[in-house]
Structure formats: structure tokens, C-alpha cells
A and B are shown apart, each in its own frame.
Chain A
Amino acid sequence: MKKQKKQTTLRTRDALSGLAFLSPWLIGLLVFTLIPIGYSLVMSISRVKFTVNGMELTILGAQWFEEIFTKDANFLPALLDTVEFIAFSTPMILVASVILALLLNKVTKGRGFFRALFFFPVVVISGPVMSKLIGNDATMLIQANDYGVYQIIGNLPGVIATPLQYIFDNVVLILWYSGVQILIILAGLQKINKPIYEAASIDGASGWQIFWKITFPHLKPMILLSGIYTVVDLAGMPSNALAKLVKNNLTRLDAPYSYSAAISWLYSLVELVLLGITFLLLKERKEKHDD
């Protein structure tokens, strides 16, 4: 009896302290994010009117959504553009961050310097600066078509050439968006126990085998985390075709806010699907190797 009582108090204490820790952030999340998100859902199904007393909402139903799919000529191209951008860039950023993290993990001289330089873009990229750079096409500055590489790629079959060309076109952008991911994966690399590598190399495993059988499975959770971060990061870029569409429609005269809200919700759904795919591709399989 006594024991049971103690257990409940422990559990309550656990819950209470948890809630106490959580509350400042939870209140903030509710007030500044969740309530606005909910509000935008209401706006997406209503007609918004501005009166002297402020905003007036009349519930319409799915009218805006219908309009998006049936009348809006910009929506589908923008959607495809955005999805293509995310679908192409995410795997490349992930591969680049894994490779760079592996390399960074192997150098000793100037290790800090090298790591800092790759994280540097994250520090430099900031709303105003980045938008100006992208506006000036600075990221495309290296005119890849001047180089022999380009001609070689041009001769390859389309299936291989298109993604390769994309990589060369966006190499700077990829490097710029890999900073946080590199750090996450580096942290993952540090956690792998050395004895496993030693055992593998004593058993005669090659570097390639070691990567796929030991490093990669251990890194998978970190790669998943980076994948989610990347998708969210890219989808949140204000330079996205869809994000631009949302912005351009904000002040549409016959449907202020509401039309944009509807697009935003569709955008979030698409992002959810993309995240779901990322998760399915990168999640840990059930058969776990024993550590």
C-alpha cells in the first residue's frame, strides 16, 4: 500500500515537473503559432472583409480550394516547381553532408577551421543577405557551361545528365544549406564506438564495406533527422515558387488572406507528404544490429 502511494506521487511529480518545464514554451507555441495556424484554417474557408471594426469573416466552405484546383493557372506549376526543388535538393544535401562530415571527421590539422568554414554559410545566410544573393544569381556565378565537365555531362543519357547538371548548377546552394546537417551527422559519427571499426578491420573488411555495414546504419537516425530538417528548411525558403504564390495572393482584392491561407494549407499538406516519404525512406529497419 505504502509502496503504491509512493509510486503515484513519483509519477505525479514527474508529470508536474515536466509540465512546469514545458509550459513557457507551450504557451508561446499556442499563442504565436498554433492559434494563428488555426485562424488561418478558418480564413481559408471564409470570405474576409475589412470593416471599420476590423476583420469580418463569413464562412464559405471549400470555395477557395475549388478555385485553386480549377481556375488558378499558377498553382500547379508552382507546386511542381517547389516539389521538384525539394525532391532534388534534399537527397543531394544529405549525400553532400554525409560525405563532408566523413571527410571532416578524418582530418586533424585545422579541424576546427575546416568545420567552422562549412558551418560558416549558416551564419552568413540570413533573410536579407540571402535573398539579395539569390536575386543576383550569385549562386550560379560559376558558369558551369564554360567548363569541360558540362560537355561531358551533355553527352550522357538524359536520366543521368539531368540530375548531374542540377548538381553542378546548384553546387553552391547545396553547400550553403548543408551546415546544420553536417553538424548533426558529425555528432552522430562521434557516437560510433571505435572497437567496432577495429573489429571490422581486423576481420578484413574494406573501407567501403565498413561504411555500408557499420557507419551508415549507425548514422541512419541522424540522417533521418537531417532529412527532416532539410525538407522543412527548404520548404520554408521564401524564394520558393509556392511561398511566393502565397505572398502574392495575400492582398488579392476579392479574397484578401483567405486565398493565401488556402494555398498555405495545401502547401503544408504537400510538405507533410514529402516528410512522410523522407521518413519512410530513412527510418530504421526493425532488424537491428547488435551494438
Chain B
Amino acid sequence: MAKYKGITVNPAKFHRSQIKFYIILLPMIVLALLPLIYIISTAFKPIEELFIYPPAFFVKNPTMANFRKLFGAAENTAFPMSLYLFNSIIVTVAVVFLGCLISLMAAYALSKRKFKGRKTIFKANQLALMFVGSMLGIPRYLVINALGLTDTFWVNVIPLLIMPTGVFLIKQFIDDVPDSLIEAARIDGAGEFRILTRVVFPVIKPAMATVAILFFQSAWNSVEASNMYINTEGYKTFAYYMNVLSSAGNGVAGRGMAAAASLIVVVPNIVLFVIMQSRVMDTMARSGIK
């Protein structure tokens, strides 16, 4: 029987034969992490090292100068950094929660409910998926203006809730959920919403986790709303603030500040992801829909 160990697809235990896979995976991981290491290294570079060409990969004399410059610039702004941070946290939580809920509901309806126009709506979603983002800026601005959303706090949230990619991904996963499972829940007297949250959601958790991360990204990194729709400084977000600060220094020297700002913006992403990863990835591994 030992012969079959080599081809088991979801092995439960470590076996010596797995070592070869680690050997291939390790260098890949190093490659995947290189740019991140580079940005960290750049953030700590003193100004002389930033001028070296071709740019050196690792920092030789790490310094906090870039961060000091960044925070120095922050002291000259009218509002404290914490305000922007607070805004961003509210926006991100709202976008992730509402965005996931709306997408899940829509994907469920598109996948499992039969009604007229279902296919057309899904095609419209695909059209939206394909359209060049930068072009939509102006017409979207006009719509937001017409709705009276300009210069409100919620304009940070509302346009981000619609993510065609999210609905598309979730729908493909719900398509695989057997109808009999939903049918069974219905016979047991579960309401539609209950079926969605208690039956469908647990089965497609991996897809939801992925989409949640995509929503988090789009909200946390969003500068569009702050740039285009909001005039009131107090409604603007952290990513916008960091962008403005880092553009204070330009040219080669600005690169160090930019790297420092990028690093600060990306740290919450990393922390959240590390906290979430064990849960997300574990459900990923076990959620086989049989």
C-alpha cells in the first residue's frame, strides 16, 4: 500500500516524499517576497543610498530619516493623522461587510433563483467587469453629483460596494453548491435568508474570504473618492493622506518617503491577513463540496 502514498492528493501526514515539493516551493516564495523586501529596504535607506544607480537591493545603513520626514510633513497638515486613520477604518469595515453581503445575495440570486432577465443581468456584470476603470471616472462623477453624494462621508463607501469581480467569483462557486442541499434546508423550514447565511455561506467560505480581502484592498487603498468627490478635509481617508504626504518630496529623495508611506499603508493589510490567514486558508483546505 505504501506505493500509493506518492500520489495522494490531500495527504494528511508529512511524508519524506514531500520534501521535493518543499524544495521547489521555497525559492518561489523568496521570489514572490522580493518586491516587498525591496520596498522595506528602500523605506529605510538614507538619502545617499537612494541615489545609487543601479539601485542596490539591500539597505546598508538603515535610517528612520524617511519616516521622520514623512511625520514631519504630517505635523504641518491641518488635521491629525488619527482622523484619517479613523475614517479609513470606518470605510473599510463598512465596505467589507456590506460589500460581501450585497455580492453574496446577488450571486446567490443569479445562481440559484430562476427569474426572467437573469442571464442578461449576468452579462451586464461581465460588461462592467471588462470596462476600463479610468474612463468611468468622469461619468461616475456626474452620477454621484446628480445623486447629491458629493462631499459626503458615504461617498467613500457606496461606489466601492459594487465589485463585478466579486459577484462573478462568488457566483461561480455557488453554481457548484448542489440544489439538493438548498432544497433540503427549505423543506426543513429555513427561510431564504437563513439558507443563504447558514447553508450557502459556510460552503463557499473560501470564495467569500477571497472576495473579502479584495474588498478590503479596494477600500483601504482607495484614494479616488478623496481625490474626486470630497472637498471636506475631515472626510478623507488614510491612503489619500499618505499619498499627499509622500508626494511632498519629489524625485529620488521622494522615493524613500514614498516607500515609507507605502509601507505604513500596507502594514495593516499584512497584520489583518496574518490574523485571518489560519482561518481563511484552513477553511479553504477543508471546504470540499462533495
Contacts and interface: CB of A to CB of B under 8 A. Distances in A.
A109 B25 CA distance: 12
Interface residues of A, number: 102
A114 B25 contact: yes
Q: Which of B115, B130, B243 has the most CB of A within 10 A?
A: B130
B184 interface: no
Contact of B35 (A127, A176, A235, A261): A176
B282 interface: yes
* B interface residue count range (under 10 / 10 to 19 / 20 to 34 / 35 or more): 35 or more
A133 B135 contact: no
A232 B39 CA distance: 27
Interface in B216-241: 217, 220-223, 239
Given A25-B106, A138-B39, A268-B132, A19 B115 contact: yes
B191 to A, nearest CB: 9
Interface in B98-119: 102-103, 105-106, 108-110, 112-116, 118
Given A136-B55, A201-B4, A124 B270 contact: yes
Nearest to A25: B106
B34 A138 contact: yes
B266 A207 contact: no
B265 A18 contact: no
A114 B78 CA distance: 44
Contacts of B3: 201
Contacts of A100: 25, 28
Given A132-B39, A133-B38, A191-B290, A14 B115 contact: yes
B161 interface: yes
A267 interface: yes
Interface string A166-203: 00000110011000100110110111111001100110
B52 interface: no
Interface string B123-161: 011011111111111111011100100000000001101
B192 A103 contact: no
B39 A129 contact: yes
A126 B35 contact: no
Interface string A133-166: 1001011011000000000000000000000000
B33 interface: yes
A4 interface: no
Contact of B108 (A21, A215, A264): A21
B73 interface: no
Contacts of B213: 119, 122-123
A38 to B, nearest CB: 8
Nearest to A96: B28
Contacts of B274: 116
A275 B142 CA distance: 30
Contacts of A24: 102, 105-106
Given A31-B143, A129-B265, A139-B35, A229 B128 contact: no
Given A133-B38, A210-B7, 13 more contacts: A17-B109, A28-B158, A33-B128, A36-B140, A39-B143, A100-B28, A106-B18, A107-B18, A127-B223, A128-B239, A132-B39, A138-B35, A243-B132
26 contacts: A18-B112, A33-B128, A36-B139, A37-B136, A100-B25, A106-B9, A106-B21, A108-B15, A116-B273, A121-B32, A123-B213, A123-B273, A126-B217, A129-B265, A136-B255, A138-B39, A175-B32, A183-B210, A187-B207, A187-B284, A191-B288, A191-B289, A198-B4, A225-B169, A246-B134, A250-B134
